[in-house]
Amino acid sequence: MTKHPSPPRAGLSRRSFLGSSGAIGAALGVGPGSAEAQQSGPDVAPDEQPQITLNVNGQRRTVTVEPRTTLVEALRDRLGLTGTKIGCNQGQCGACTVLLNGRRVNSCLTLAMAADGAEVVTVEGLADPAGNLHPMQQAFAENDAFQCGYCTPGQILSAIACIDEGHATDAAEIREYMSGNLCRCGAYPNIVAAVETVRDSRKG
């Protein structure tokens, strides 16, 4: 015997169901009408946004930011330093690596306000005033340590820190301490060679 679906109950439609669900959700404290959703509030008005001071590549820069602005956003969108790249925006690829007070950080995970008063070095600040490349930049070029180039600024800054931190004893250690910087083109052997080149030149 074939069973036929029961007819919908009178007075209940998809629209009325969704409407009542939204009201119930707000009453229970979940969904768009909840207190959690309201806590984020509107964006901070421009005239109320805090100002921070960064010493970027040897220059003192004052920038207005929202409290939630990340360092990479401040560098790219406020200061026009687009050499620092945004990759995964989750701290997993290393494309946004900069030096903060001499230490490498993922600038996509660093709030700009947390860097107030700090020394920041980006790829734009590596060459000398005459335009001569930093030794690591030169080594990357000589060793073909990049292909598409998107990850290269972060790779170079991380490589500089890798040597400064004393983590470039051998190829295995270089690979370990450079593992936070991903190269989708797979130029890893050449990146290691570039780091070794600079390391050895410093020894000489």
Q: Clarify whether residues 148 and 196 are in a common domain.
A: yes
Residues 172 and 192 in one domain: yes
Residue 10 lies in a domain: no
- Residue ranges in the chain modelled with pLDDT below 70: 1-47, 204
pLDDT of residue 203: 86
Which residues are bridge partners to 55 per DSSP?
60, 119
Does the residue 32 lie in any domain?
Answer: no
Q: Does residue 88 sit in the same domain as residue 110? A: yes
User: Is residue 37 in a domain?
Assistant: no
Under DSSP, the state recorded for 65 is -
The reply to whether 16 falls in a domain is: no
Number of structural domains in the chain: 2
What's the chain's length in residues? 204
Rounded Cα distance between 132 and 134, Å, is 7
Query: Structural domain of residue 158, as residue ranges?
Result: 135-203
- Bridge partners of 61? 54
How much is the pLDDT for 13? 54
The Cβ of residue 142 has, within 10 Å, a number of other Cβ atoms equal to 12
How far apart, in whole angstroms, are the C-alpha atoms of residue 77 and residue 152? 20
